Amino acid sequence: MEKAPHFVTDLAHLPTSAHGPRSATWWGTLGFILIEGTGFALAAAAYFYLMGQPETWPPGQAPPDWLWGTAQLILMLASLLPNLWTDRVAHQEDLRKVRVGLVVMSAVGLLTLVVRAFEFGALNCRWDDNAYGSIVWVLLGLHATHLVTDIGDTLVLTALMFTRHVEPRRYTDVTDNCVYWNFVVLAWVPLWGLLYVVPRLV
Amino acid sequence: MTAGTDTAVVRRDGPGLGEAETNARLARSWATPPGLWGWLSTVDHKQVGRRYVVTAFTFFVLAGLLALAMRMQLAGPERTLLSPDRYNQIFTMHGTTMMFLFAVPMMEAFAIYLVPLMVGTRAIAFPRLNAFSYWVYLAGGIMLWVAFILNVGPDVGWFSYVPLAGPQYSPGKRVDFWAQMVTFTEVAALAVAVEIIVTVFKQRAPGMSLNRIPLFVWGQLVTSFMVVFAMPAVMVSSSMLIMDRLIGTHFFNPAEGGDALLWQHLFWFFGHPEVYIIFLPATGFVSSILPTFARRPIFGYTALVLALFATGFLGFGLWVHHMFATGLPHLGNSFYTAASMAIAIPSGIQIFCWIATLWDGRPRFATPLLFVIGFIVVFVLGGLSGIMLASVPLDSQVHDTYFVVAHFHYVLIGGAVFPLFGAFYYWFPKFTGRMLSERVGAWNFGLFFVGFNLAFFPMHILGLIGMPRRVYSYPAGVGWDELNLLATAGAVILAAGVATFVGNVWHSLKHGVSAGDNPWGAGTLEWATSSPPPSYNFTHIPVVTGQEPLWTLPQGLPAQGLPVVGGLRVDQRELLLTTVVDADPDLREPSPEPSIWPLLSALAVTALFIGSIFTPWAVVWGAIPLAVGLIGWFWPKSPPDTPEPVID
Amino acid sequence: MSRALRIGSLGLALCLALPGCQGVQSALDPAGHQAGRIAGLWWLFLGVLAVVYLVVLAGLLIAASRPRRRGVLPNGPSFAREERIERRLTGGLTAWAVGTGAIILTLTGLSYAVDRDILGLTDKAELEIEVTAKQWWWQVKYNDPVPSRSFETANEIRLPVGVPVRIVLKSQDVIHSFWVPNLHGKTDLIPGRVNETTLVADREGRFRGQCAEFCGFQHANMALDVVAMPRDRFDAWRESQLSPAAAPADDLARQGQQVFLSAACVMCHTIHGTTAASRVGPDLTHVASRPSLAAGTLPYSKGNLAGWIADPQRIKPGNQMPITSLSPDQLQGVVAYLDSLK
């Protein structure tokens, strides 16, 4: 026997997309940021742990050269400006500006990859030299994978914004992508300190 | 909406549409395509959850058979049924399979199936990620077992201590398969954790404020956060291990500045929380089953939630108690003694609340409750032997002996597998629409309980009188013969209990009594829909007014009497998102359609992971198909979503 | 606290009446100070926790079986929560949590006290023995300030009764764990690190130790004998170990020595007083004085020795000693020679 359900409200008026903590994707992004942040923290802890083993640190090598790592730091911090701008215009759902922002961010992202390649070349160690070399390469490589995935995401989003798939949800995708890039940049600051400053302090 | 199409049709859930029509439209929108294609492309959390259950149970049986093989070998001294090489592979596979391929995935399976139903939503968050996680898990499990069958199974223990597991002392590919299996299962577990967190945070039915979340869901939520913080540790360490083995890094090589104990710190930083990742969901089973069969709301809801958080938090501060024998400073060890013992407080609170619920209720001793009682009897013993292990001096004697084997089987089988069997009997009607036989269930419980205690209790004594773990043989005359024989006999009875369960499922799937929506008269939302639930879970999203929504209804009102909300689309997959704390309706978001891309992406990941065992370049080349898979996955469908229907 | 520990040792006395606890490899049959304190602590923990367990079981039993109010069970709980009962249960919960806290605090304190007491022995060591674990046997070096008074043996540790001995623990390959349950708990041997433990035997006896950390293929057969003997006998034994190997006394042994020194044996083993000086395998200078063969795999006897040399891979598959092809005569000679190395 079918009984009439007891409706208490009608939610048809609710919006179908929103930015930030109101959307599910934002929380999903946050979840993955937590996971990856934990990964970074543990790798950094391993760095400090290994630092306690040999007499000197770095053991027998010169610390990584300043130039490229610091250039990367400056480039990344500077990239926060277009990133935050893209985030703002995506909130405003201004398609033209969002396209500009994404193109800029794609270019900046590819540039950071180029700089990263030079960074590897200026580490003054190989991963198979000793445990110091191993952890340095892994830390830099771990951050590089985050660069690659975020840039891949940015490129796909940029392409999407030039297709007929533009709809309100795409703008929330853009803001989530901006959140992730902020994380990638902010993760680099302590890593830069670990890779470039710490070996000069001890 | 363009003029000329069926603007007159109301496509929203609401009083105007009628129940039959609503169901028909929802069924069309949420259907999985028929046939093999549908099977491969489904994103329905119930189908994926069922697959997880069946796969994890298969691994449980396989690992159980390995345990039997070990018990046969150890039934008497100096037996030669298994060679040391085979034995070492078998005990490694047993532990690895039980921990990585059975226990954690099984708990995830129940989360995937039940959490969306319990919070009253139509689908899990990120359903494609969910499908992907299953394929990745399945691939990792198959890879490990194929390797084992081909005699390249790992043979250095489920903990893979270096340098034994390192390139020098374990040449060949055995350990590489182990390390990559870890990567597979952790990717799957992390994905599921994020899905569960977001489902619980954002998709609870209106009115399900924090203080009304079912304890099972709380348990899964805390577990998911533990996964988020613990699993990266094992991914980092197993990646370091595989790099040491394959590309010549030196993380664990003391000759080049590495250190063997770094592995142990990282591994146990994951490994101890892992125990709670298995145990906390099981407490959720107990907290679900007990009120239903004690016919009383759970006593101490708030205390139980706080105990979950306390356990989850403390679980990260104990890892060093696995390393008391490594020669770390004793003062530090004492801190870990205190922390390890402190976890007895939240556990004790939980036990008290459960017994109090039973005490004040009017219990009905159906099979799920029998398993819960068995759980308390067995788990408390395991918890108490855990207090012994937390003591540095006592641990120095019994660490790495059969005492520890006894302890963690009391904790893990007692704490997780007993509740799990209770959960099987409890939710089987919901999963399949049929009841399991109660009479066979009592036999199942009896054999399992007796067999378990017979198998594992003697191991406490064996450890105290000197028998170390992980030995393929032992000499006659040390005094271990009789107890080992007893343990083997118990293992056979235990296996008979599991066989009884399999027989019960086999028979009941076809001939079981039809269950109906709510056969146990339970109070949580998964019982407010049909058994098994439709693809869209609920005809209307319910409004929650208490901790047991079905029990807070006015007397005599059946489940259909729940207040509900209208306004969601029925012509497309749409979810209701609510606010994190109060679960106020906030947003309607689309939910993804079935897709083959998660499977293809999982295959690309599999090729990448397995390939990387043989050449590091696989990481580079494998990234290309993976990128293709992910782009296909996230590229919006065409044509785009139909526009919003007109609201009449 | 020390009274509590004395109560614990009462349990120990109780256990010794049972045959099950006694044994050459039992933590419950202590023959040394540390093992004794730990066993006392164990019985104390067991007593306290057994009471806790019985309380829980009793609670569960009463909860499950106590008489109930009558009444038909509807499809749903038949009552609202009663305030009075909730209050009483909450009171019970509080008491229970406080009680749990008090018990674990006490146990933590006792555990800490025993730990301190055990560590107190570290500074009193009068002898030093260096144990190096290898897959799958134990190299044992008796260190002496006078280098010429140091010597090496294998798979066997002899201790003077009542004298604390520092054991320096090293590993050459993978992680092992040094464990002689009748004397003390275990300590790991980790490559790249040096660990220490102290042993003291309170009475004479022969005990069995075993590797307790999984170390690969033959982890199961990596045992060692610990012999506690009176000081004077220990000193005499020590003098005998310092002497080079006895020269072969008869033709058979002489022929065996020739075979030993010309066959593969010499590639791995040392026999002081001969040209055999390789350090891959155990030092055999006084092999016939040891209680067992192949790290506790076989009791020492001439027959077992012959069987071991003839086919070590059958007795301990995967171990590092290869099969040496010897004719029956050669084998007989080698066995006669080695058996003369008391």
Q: Report phi then psi at B83, rounded to 5.
A: -75, 160
Residues of B in contact with A14 (CB under 8 A): 567, 576, 585-588
Residue of C75, C135, C173, C222 to mutate, testing the B interface (most B Cβ within 10 Å of its Cβ): C75
**C160-210 pLDDT tens trace:** 999 999 999 999 999 999 999 999 999 999 999 999 999 999 999 999 999
Q: Which helix (H) or strand (E) holds C299?
A: strand C298-299
Q: Which residues pair with C188 in a beta bridge?
A: C177
Burial degree of B16 (CB within 10 A; 0-12, 13-18, 19+): exposed
pLDDT at C10 over 70: no
Chain C contact for B77 (CB, 8 A cutoff): no
Same domain, C217 and C261: no
Percent of chain B with pLDDT over 90: 88
pLDDT at C21: 67
Neighbours of chain A (3+ CB pairs under 8 A): B
Q: Which of C177, C212, C216 sits opposite B164 (nearest CB)?
A: C216
Identify the sign of the CA torsion C200, C202, C208, C212. negative
B590 touching chain A per CB within 8 A: yes
Total residues belonging to chain C:
342
Q: How many CB atoms lie within 10 A of CB A197?
A: 14
Bridge partners of B576, per DSSP, are: B588
The ipTM assigned to this model is: 0.96
Q: Which of B84, B362, B555 sits opposite C73 (nearest CB)?
A: B362
Is A49–B580 a contact, with Cβ atoms under 8 angstroms apart? no
Give percent of chain B with pLDDT exceeding 70.
96
* Distance from the first to the final alpha carbon of chain B: 13
Query: Could you tell me which residues are beta bridge partners of residue C152?
Result: C141
Q: Please, which residues have CB within 8 angstroms of residue B381's CB and are 6 or more apart in sequence?
A: B410, B414, C53
Chain mean position to CA A129: 29
Residues 6+ apart with CB under 8 A from B4: none
Look at the block and give the residue holding tokens 């229907």.
B645
Is C255 found in the same domain as C209? no
Chain A nearest C-alpha distance from B74 (Å): 40
Residues 214 through 243 of chain C touching chain B, CB cutoff 8 Å:
214-221
Closest-CA distance of chain C to residue B441, Å: 19
B200 touches chain A (CB under 8 A): no
All chains having 3 or more CB pairs closer than 8 angstroms to chain B: A, C
Question: Would you say residue C332 lies in a domain?
Answer: yes
Contacts of B258 in chain A (CB under 8 A): 50, 53, 130-131, 134
Dist CA C184 CA C296 (whole Å): 19
For residue A62, give the 3-state DSSP assignment. Answer: coil
Element at C186 (helix H, strand E): strand C184-189
Contact B125, B578 (CB under 8 A): no
Contact between B76 and B480 under an 8 Å Cβ cutoff? The reply is no
Pairwise CA distance, residues B123 & B576, whole Å: 10
Q: Pick the residue of A17, A29, A35 with the most B CBs within 10 A to test the interface with B by mutation.
A: A35
Q: Does A164 touch chain B (CB under 8 A)?
A: yes
- Look up residue B358 and give its amino acid: L
CB B613, CB B184: distance < 8 Å: no
Domain check: are C164 and C212 in the same one? yes
Mean per-residue pLDDT of chain B: 94
3-state secondary structure at position B198? helix
Closest C-alpha among B587, B553, B582, B583 to residue B567 = B587
The mean per-residue pLDDT over the stretch C115-119 comes to 92
Tell me the pLDDT band of C20, cut-offs 50, 70 and 90: low
Residue A163: φ, ψ to 5°:
-110, -175
Last residue of a domain, one of C178, C213, C242: C242
Q: What is the mean pLDDT of residues C292-314?
A: 95
Its sign, for the CA torsion B502, B505, B510, B512, is positive
Q: Are C148 and C233 part of one and the same domain?
A: yes
Rounded CA-CA distance B224/B219 in Å is: 9
What 3-state DSSP class applies to C153? strand
Q: Is the predicted pLDDT of residue B648 greater than 60, yes or no?
A: no
Residue pLDDT, tens place only, B122-151: 999 999 999 999 999 999 999 999 999 999
Nearest chain B residue (CA) to C82: B360
Measure the CA–CA gap between C107 and B133, rounded to whole angstroms: 44
Q: What is the rounded distance in angstroms from the CA atom of residue C52 to the CA atom of residue C45?
A: 11
| CB proximity C66 to B under 8 Å | yes
Residues 240 through 269 of chain B touching chain C, CB cutoff 8 Å = 254-255, 259-261
Q: Which domain holds residue C182?
A: 123-242
For residue B19, list chain A residues with Cβ-Cβ distance below 8 A: 2, 4-5
**Partners of residue B14 in chain A, C-beta under 8 Å:** 7, 10, 12
Examine the pLDDT at B4 and tell me if it is beyond 70.
no
Is C20–B401 a contact, with Cβ atoms under 8 angstroms apart?
no
Interface residue C107 vs chain B (CB under 8 A): yes
Contact C60 B395 (CB under 8 A): no
Cα(C166)–Cα(C175) distance, rounded to whole angstroms?
A: 20
Contact C56 B362 (CB under 8 A): no
**Start-to-end Cα distance in chain A:** 79
pTM for this entry? 0.95
C14 domain residue, yes or no: no
Instruction: Say which of C60, C62, C184 has its CB closest to residue B373.
Output: C60
C299 at interface of B, judged by CB pairs closer than 8 A: no
Contact B553, B562 (CB under 8 A): yes
Q: Do C97 and B387 touch (CB under 8 A)?
A: no
Point out the domain boundary residue: C207, C242, C277: C242
Residues 267-286 of B with CB under 8 A from C: none
pLDDT score at A112: 97
Last residue of a domain, one of C224, C242, C260: C242
| Residues within 8 A of B (CB atoms), A 43-102 only | 43, 46, 49-50, 53-54, 59
Question: By the 8 A CB rule, do B517 and B444 touch?
Answer: no
Structure tokens at B179: 């390390």
Same domain, C219 and C282: no
Dig out the tokens for C128 from the structure.
């030093």
Whether residue C27 lies inside any domain: the answer is no
- Does residue C228 share a domain with residue C144? yes
Mutant choice from A1, A2, A10 vs B, greatest count of B C-beta within 10 A: A10
* B565 touches A: beta carbon within 8 Å: yes
Residues in chain B: 648
The CATH homologous superfamily of the domain defined by A64-201: Cytochrome c oxidase, subunit III, four-helix bundle (1.20.120.80)
Token pair listed for A87: 């985030």
Q: What is the CATH number of the domain that holds C299?
A: 2.60.40.420
Taking 60 as the threshold, does the pLDDT of residue C76 lie above it?
A: no
C212–B400: do the CB atoms touch at under 8 Å? Answer: yes
Q: Which residues contact A75 (CB under 8 A, 6 or more apart)?
A: A108, A111, A112, A115
Q: Does C173 touch chain B (CB under 8 A)?
A: yes
- Give the tens place of pLDDT for each residue, B165-198: 999 999 999 999 999 999 999 999 999 999 999 9
pLDDT at C2 (0 to 100): 56
Q: What is the DSSP letter of A60?
A: S
Of B232, B236, B259, nearest to A50 by CB-CB distance is B259
Domain count, chain C: 2
Q: What pLDDT is recorded for position C78? A: 47
Is the pLDDT reported for residue B11 higher than 70? yes
Say which of A8, A28, A160 has its CB closest to residue B563.
A8
Locate the domains of chain A by residue range: 64-201
Question: Looking at residues B562-580, what average pLDDT do you find?
Answer: 93
Please tell me if residue C190 touches chain B, with a CB cutoff of 8 Å. Answer: yes
- For chain A, say whether B562 makes contact (Cβ under 8 Å): yes
Give the distance from residue A165's alpha carbon to the nearest chain B alpha carbon, in angstroms.
7
Both tokens of residue B121?
């939503």
Tokens of C314: 């059958």
Over residues B439-459, the pLDDT tens digits come to 999 999 999 999 999 999 999
Asked if B521 and C92 come within 8 Å (Cβ–Cβ), the reply is no
Closest approach of chain C CAs to the CA of B296, in angstroms? 6
Beta strands in chain A (DSSP E): 6-10
**pLDDT above 60 for C342:** yes
Query: Which of the four pLDDT bands, split at 50, 70 and 90, describes residue B6?
Result: very low
| Cα–Cα distance measured from residue C127 to residue C112, given in angstroms and rounded to the nearest whole number | 27
Measured in angstroms, the CA of B599 and the nearest CA of chain A are apart by: 20
Select the residue of C41, C175, C188 nearest B164 (Cβ to Cβ).
C175
Question: Residues with Cβ < 8 Å from C254, sequence gap 6 or more?
Answer: C248, C337
What average pLDDT does the segment B411-436 reach? Answer: 97
Residue A154: closest CA among A93, A91, A98? A98
With CA atoms as reference, report the closest residue to B19 among B535, B560, B590, B563: B560
Binding-face residues of B in 449-488 toward C, CB within 8 A: 461, 464-466, 468-475, 478-479
What tokens were used for B250? 């030196």
Query: Residues of C with CB below 8 A from B376's CB?
Result: 56, 60
Q: DSSP state, B599?
A: H
pLDDT, tens digit (0-9, with 9 covering 90-100), for B202-228: 999 999 999 999 999 999 999 999 999
Q: Do B387 and C196 touch (CB under 8 A)?
A: no
Could B464 and C93 be called an inter-chain contact, meaning their C-beta atoms sit closer than 8 Å? no
Least Cα distance to C100 among A100, B384, A108 occurs for B384
Judge whether C103 and C150 are in contact, CB under 8 Å: no
Same domain, C202 and C272: no
Q: What is the mean predicted confidence (pLDDT) over B360-369? A: 94
Pairwise CA distance, residues A95 & A72, whole Å:
30
Count of other CB atoms within 10 angstroms of residue B69: 17
Number of Cβ pairs closer than 8 Å across A and B? 193
